[in-house]
Structure 1
Amino acid sequence: MTRPDPRKTAALSAALSGAVDLGALRARADAARQAAAAPASAAAPVDNGSSVPWIVDVTEASFQTVVEQSVQVPVVVLLGASYSPESQALAATLTRFATGSGGAWILARVDLEQAPRIGQAFGVQSVPTTVAVAAGQPIDAFAGAIADTELSAWIARLLDALRERLPGIRAGEARATGVAEEEVVEDPRIVAAEEAFEAGDYAAAQGFYEQVLASEPGNELAREGLAQARFAERAEAVDPAVIAKADAAPEDLDAQLAAADAEIAGQRVDEAFARLISAVRRVFGEDRDRVRQHLVGLFELFPADDPRVAAARRALASALY
């Protein structure tokens, strides 16, 4: 997804993906709720601060509850402050956009003067900072204010990238347009694959996805699921110590491939891509094709517009030709 300054924003997004500790924030929030709640009471509800249910003003205690909703729709977290005119202007624009979204995405407004630990969790350097969260993890971000047209386009690209992965987006869009959402008929093979994956039976998941692709080669969901299942099976068996082994023996091709898997599993994406591109430059023939295929398989774990994948594809093409 492109933003006003792609290099700066890509760096911010990459930093967030490795730095955010939402689990620690959740632990603090849970402790605060337990201290304040009566023995038989439920967790404190989210303070919307709005009559629109998908626009919420969050505190440190309620933030994790909002983040958990990102398994259904993306959550756009606005980290601002009342003293910042840019924060107030961006909040007004985002609120206007969110109001008409039908709940295809959630706007979570955070006042860092009242909830500084949320800003610390995201490593915020300036206000306003806007972060997109999906499936509990930050996936994109930008700092400062941007034009309304750019902001609208950013949100549209976010929804386009996640529509097939987060089930609540289409429902929200249907509400926004007043058009009834089409009934989704789930492919039992996809359902079986997902259940096998959740159970940790990655081999079975691969088999179900391969059945789908045999009859529907263009099925994007099955293609992505197969890539994830293959990687999960390899990553489960890899020893993180293989990274040091590969660094000490660059000629050991098996170690290089395993080390790249370990680095991806540890969110060291750029290092993994760079390792395999370096290997491509050192080997030839069948060995080079083996490394290339492994690297392309890792590309499939990420959205096609991920800037790290785009940069690595260019570097791979340069190494090959």
Structure 2
Amino acid sequence: MSQANFSRPGAIDLSALRKPAGGAAPGAAPGAGAGAAGAPAAGGGAYVLDVTEAAFQADVIERSLQHPVVVEFWSPRSGASNQLAPILAALSTEYDGKFLLARIDIDANPGLAQAVGVQTVPLVIGVLRGQVVPLFQGPVGEPEARQYVDQLLTVAVANGIAGRAQPVAAAGPVDAEPVVDERFVKAEDAVGAGDLDGAIAAYEEILAQTPGDAEAKAGLSRVQLVKRTQDVPADFREKAAEDAADVEAQILVADVDLMGGHVEDAFNRLITTVQNTAGEDRNKARVHLLELFEVVGADDERVVRARQRLMMVLF
């Protein structure tokens, strides 16, 4: 996956939903145009927006050029939708502008539901540069929802989408500025400019001052993962299949699998490599697996399970 060309299995191009006339002009600020902007979701939070079909171009497609948009298709008739809504709203507040949550009532906007192919609700998708990244369908708990959001943010970083959403008007003071963690501005700006080496240096600078900064560690691991998977040889999987003891080949496949959202496949491959190797090769596979744990997050259930398996293999 390259930064210049967003691609992921299952991605759906939403460009057909752009309005050539009567909506916001291409390149206009999100929400521009008479009657185009969506409304803050009642009780939703500073980064939650109720979106209509008329506002879809401005509030979802145009915004997704700058930052990730998580779209929640829901219905007031659906109990599962009502259970999921506060979970996603809370995550949008916690992530403080790293993504915007756009809520679409399928009863009020059947055309959008049909365009995306919504069959049951809740359905949650991500949108990056006008393309869909399928996330999940049906009710999930907070840990699972967090996993999917983290995966979307990793894909966004891989494609140079590192902007932050502005707080939705009327969700707080109209002129309020988003709270920005100044420590990460340099790294995030570098990612947005496609300067991965600069982003790595910025995160390393933070960690030199505060070695225990978990968010900086995760950010550094994500950017390093993106850099490692920028130029992958066409036969990388064949090489890994031919030689199970080729640690570098196994690591590369694991990296690509993680970038594609196949988290457990990546973990299982490296645990098997640790099990089947010895000495420096074994340690290299183990250390790399720990780095991938940083990317996914220590609290992720898949990381917890993989750590347990790794301990069994090592001891």
- Confirm or deny a common fold (TM above 0.5): yes
Evaluate the alpha carbon distance shift between residue 213 and residue 18 of structure 1 in structure 2; reply closer, same or farther with a 3 A threshold: same
- CA deviation after TM superposition for structure 1 residue 199, in Å: 3.4
Partner of 1:78: 73
Secondary structure in structure 2 of the residue aligned to 1:78? strand
Partner of 1:281: 275
Aligned residues between the structures: 276
Partner of 1:252: 246
- The one-letter amino acid of 1:143's match is G
Deviations 1:197-250 (A, max 9, x none): 333333333222222211111223321222123222211233242112111221
Partner of 2:311: 317
- The one-letter amino acid of 1:21's match is A
Secondary structure in structure 2 of the residue aligned to 1:226? helix
- CA deviation after TM superposition for structure 1 residue 274, in Å: 1.9
Looking at structure 1, the residues matched to 313 and 179 of structure 2 have their Cα atoms a distance apart, in angstroms, of: 47
Partner of 2:290: 296
- The one-letter amino acid of 1:186's match is E
Evaluate the alpha carbon distance shift between residue 256 and residue 29 of structure 1 in structure 2; reply closer, same or farther with a 3 A threshold: same
Determine which of 202, 209, 226 is the counterpart of 2:203: 209
**1:21 matches 2:16:** no
- CA deviation after TM superposition for structure 1 residue 308, in Å: 3.3
Evaluate the alpha carbon distance shift between residue 315 and residue 135 of structure 1 in structure 2; reply closer, same or farther with a 3 A threshold: farther
Determine which of 183, 186, 191 is the counterpart of 2:182: 186
Deviations 1:41-97 (A, max 9, x none): 9787546478859442433981673266576686450344x8xx426x8469949x9
Determine which of 230, 237, 254 is the counterpart of 2:231: 237
Evaluate the alpha carbon distance shift between residue 76 and residue 176 of structure 1 in structure 2; reply closer, same or farther with a 3 A threshold: farther
Could you tell which deviates more after superposition, 273-282 or 68-77? 68-77
- CA deviation after TM superposition for structure 1 residue 293, in Å: 0.6
Deviations 1:150-209 (A, max 9, x none): 7xx689979x989xx98559x67x95699x88965623xx43333333333333332222
**Structure 1 vs Structure 2 CA RMSD:** 4.8
- CA deviation after TM superposition for structure 1 residue 295, in Å: 1.2
Q: Using the aligned pairs only, state the percent identity.
A: 28
Partner of 1:129: 122
Partner of 1:269: 263
Structure 1's unaligned 5+ residue stretches are 1-16
TM-score after normalising by structure 2: 0.65
Looking at structure 1, the residues matched to 206 and 39 of structure 2 have their Cα atoms a distance apart, in angstroms, of: 46
Q: As a proportion of its length, which structure holds more helix?
A: 1
Looking at structure 2, the residues matched to 207 and 216 of structure 1 have their Cα atoms a distance apart, in angstroms, of: 14
